[in-house]
Amino acid sequence: MKPVWTLKAIYQVLINFIGKKLKAFLNKQISRPKQYSIGISLILLASIASYLSHNVIGYRAVALILLLAVSISAMLFDILPVLVCALLSALILNYFFIPPTLTLKIQSAEDLLMFLMYFIIAMINAVLTVKIRQFESKKRDEEEKEKTIELYNTLLNSLSHELRTPISTIIGAIDTIVDNEERLSRNNIRELYTEIEIAGDRLNRQVENLLNMSRLDAGTLQPTFDWFDINELIFKVINQTNTTDENRVVFQPDDNLSLVYIDGGFLETILHNLVHNALEHTPKSCTIGIDAGYVNERLIIDIADNGAGFPVGEIDLVFDKFYKLNGTGTGGTGLGLSIVKGFTEALNGKITLRNKKLGGAHFKIEIPAEFSSLELIENEQGRNIDNR
């Protein structure tokens, strides 16, 4: 009985291993004729392999091998093809392996009991495995549906605040100007126009994030590469986001880093979201530093602050869609960092986040890109003009 127990243990290990390897196929739709043909072929292959080695392992061990083949079929196919496989394996076991072979007769009461137990276990195993698959599939669909509803509720709740606030600001400022135009001073009107501009930028940013996320979900992102001055692009992002007089964003340009062959629009979106996120979630006393360089044919951009950093348990979640850190306010849709990751990956790059030892967060962007000096580009453009 000891060898049989060892084979049972091996059988369980193989079931778990093969189940994990074939998990990707469980959700695929396979036509019914293909299920029959693949299932029967699997049983026949197991039978041939068992027949070639049954003198060594014995016909009782063959039962476990055939049961393994039935279990694999149950993990992949519908109930009817699996039952056919179970019945076929039982007939093969009886005809080719249980003495007397090449006949359906069974002489020994022990062999008859083993055959009946095999047949029952094979059928029960087939039915239960298929039912478990159906239950897991139904549960997974329900969880995905609940998750989708939760995500949409999160988005709607966020948008109800993010869109209503700037719209209310714009409407209120315009009403104030219209109703009190003669009584307002130029400074008052200028301040109201500034509020309208800030609210409009905020509204435009949220709409852009929604459009960018829809493009990411649809898989329609198509980078358009050209030569860009990275230093100039970073200064542009700083001027767009650093609207206060505190000059919290610090960037020391690298004179050796002039032109990089990349999608400037994608990179601008990435940097804009990162800088804006840092400005929104760090105290006004914090400084946000940006460094850019080119190492091993990769554009490296570091954005770091000296704030509180991220909770260690949430670092792996910050790039998830609609995810917002615990303890943050109601503002924001939780799309900024997920867009950053999506756009970075669209450029075949990667982004990592870590907490600095002395406090603060450090985002590192690595994007494969071609680098060239300004003089080289001018020479290339001159040669193209001459060739014309």
- pLDDT tens profile 156-176: 665 666 677 778 888 888 888
Cβ atoms of 349 and 363 within 8 Å: the answer is no
Q: Where are the alpha helices (DSSP H) in 163-185?
A: 164-179
- pLDDT tens profile 258-306: 788 999 888 998 998 899 888 888 888 888 999 998 888 899 999 999 8
Among 238, 229, 355, CA closest to 288: 238
- pLDDT tens profile 190-200: 888 888 887 88
Could you check whether the bond before residue 223 is cis, i.e. omega within 30 degrees of 0?
A: no
CA angle 318, 320, 322 (to 5 degrees): 100
Cβ atoms of 250 and 335 within 8 Å: the answer is no
- Residue ranges, comma separated, of all CATH 3.30.565.10 domains in the chain are 226-375
Q: Per residue in 228-266, is it b (16+ CB within 10 Å) or e — as a string?
A: bbbbebbeebbeebbeeeeebbebebeeebbbbebbbeb
Q: How confident is the model at residue 83 (pLDDT cuts 50, 70, 90)?
A: confident
- pLDDT tens profile 208-260: 777 777 777 677 778 888 999 999 999 988 887 765 545 688 898 887 777 88
**pLDDT, greater one: 374 or 341:** 341
pLDDT at 302 (0 to 100)? 94
End-to-end Cα distance, the chain: 87
324 vs 337: CA distance, rounded Å:
10
Is 226-375 assigned to CATH 3.30.565.10? yes
The pTM of the full predicted model, rounded to 2 decimals, is: 0.53
